[in-house]
Amino acid sequence: MTSGPELPHPARDEIALTQVLFALSDPDRLAIVRQLAGGPLEMKACTPGETARAKSTRSHLFKVLREAGVLRSVPQGRGRLLTLRRADLEARFPGLLQAVLDGAD
Amino acid sequence: MTSGPELPHPARDEIALTQVLFALSDPDRLAIVRQLAGGPLEMKACTPGETARAKSTRSHLFKVLREAGVLRSVPQGRGRLLTLRRADLEARFPGLLQAVLDGAD
DNA sequence: GGGAGGGTTCGAAAATCATCGAACAATCCC
DNA sequence: GGGATTGTTCGATGATTTTCGAACCCTCCC
């Protein structure tokens, strides 16, 4: 019934600033976050930067973002649905996400 | 006349977001930035986190912040004066620095 | 049942980063 | 001049990160 594995997410107040900043400090991961800014996306449809990556590498990129509390990753069908944790991030670090999304490269 | 070495700083438009985020993603470096939020500080007076660090390690922490364009480090007497590059950061990534300074840990 | 599609986990190899001590440079001040 | 103060740079070592392939798990669908 439940599809893929339920993976752990930090609670709102467990989200740590340095960990979030680190997660966002990689070009591929930042590209992912910017794609998600437009709304939830299926993981298969969410492609990191230019260069192709092995699927295990992709999985790792999402893992870092998930464990930092930047996004939520829930099973959906045979895949996963990714959502930016906007409200949680905004509550804890007001303006941060917006600044990162709007800022230059 | 000029004191210690003149060290390179990126120009405003060379400041890269991922590099800035990475520089800020370390607790010691973040602590430095927060201290500098109160105004310029002599390097000797600027102490990273709790744990003591060798002076070469301290120097390295400041170097990462300087090369990322987060702070300016100019010779002053036998030491150095550190200044947050607020205007440059604000121009390039509006709201980012403030969010990082104000946000939770 | 048995593919095929989508992802995670594991283990290993490569690259990057942090940390330190030692050596060196520039400044101040006696 | 000479010593103390303040920092940088270099080289080495250890710790994290990144990346990948291989093995495995679930789900959809025929």
User: Does B17 touch chain A if contact means CB atoms closer than 8 Å?
Assistant: yes
| Residue A2: inside a domain | no
Contacts of A105 (CB under 8 A, 6+ apart): B16, B17, B18
> Is the CB of residue A78 less than 8 Å from the CB of residue A4?
yes
- Residue B55's domain comprises 12-103
Encode pLDDT of A14-26 as tens digits. 999 999 999 999 9
Distance CA A18, CA B30 (A): 8
- Please tell me the distance in Å from B4's CA to the nearest CA on chain A: 31
Check A105 against B16: CB less than 8 A apart: yes
Q: CA of B72 and C1' of D4: distance in angstroms?
A: 27
| Residue B4: inside a domain | no
CATH code where residue B51 lies:
1.10.10.10
Q: Does the predicted model carry a pTM greater than 0.90?
A: yes
Q: How many domains does chain B have?
A: 1
Q: CA of B78 and C1' of C13: distance in angstroms?
A: 45
Check B93 against A105: CB less than 8 A apart: no
The predicted complex's ipTM stands at 0.94
| Residue B7: inside a domain | no
Encode pLDDT of B9-41 as tens digits. 999 999 999 999 999 999 999 999 999 999 999
Q: How far is CA A43 from CA A32, A51, A67, A97, in A?
A: 10, 17, 16, 20
